[in-house]
Amino acid sequence: MTDQDTILLVDDDPEIDRLLGDFLGGEGYEVIVAGSCGEGRRQLGERPFGLVLLDLTLPDGDGLDLMHELPRPDAPPEFVIVTGHATLDTAIKAVEGGAAGYVNKPVDFARLTTSSSGCSTAAG
């Protein structure tokens, strides 16, 4: 398994963590879960990831702030926002801020597969 096959899921909802982890694991990806900005920051500092699925609202901060504070090398990870607080404004801010895409909760797994298999945009 390569770094491209490893996904960091930063979300504080255990049900979402389980559903996405099971689904993406079944698609052949290794999924690491972080339940907070702090844990996500720690995981990103410890190992490379091909994709980061990032919730906007976390117990210790805002997912967009986490995405912006990390150094952005030319290589992955790509960030895809996954949120239940979907508005056109947050989608625009996410994509303008460097997110590769935006997925609404509840997650449409068919769209997520298309997005994660090629890290293409999954705007919703």
Q: Which domains does the chain have, with CATH numbers?
A: 3-118 (3.40.50.2300)
Quick one: DSSP state of residue 122?
-
Report how far residue 6's alpha carbon sits from residue 55's, in angstroms, rounded to the nearest whole number: 17
Per-residue pLDDT tens over the stretch 104-121:
888 877 766 554 444 433
Q: Is this model's pTM higher than 0.75 or not? A: yes
What is the chain's mean pLDDT, rounded? 82
Residue with tokens 């590769």: 100
Q: How far is CA 46 from CA 7, 71, 73, in A?
A: 13, 14, 15
Per-residue pLDDT tens over the stretch 29-39:
999 999 999 99
Contact 123, 95 (CB under 8 A): yes
User: Once rounded to an integer, what is the mean pLDDT over residues 85-103?
Assistant: 83
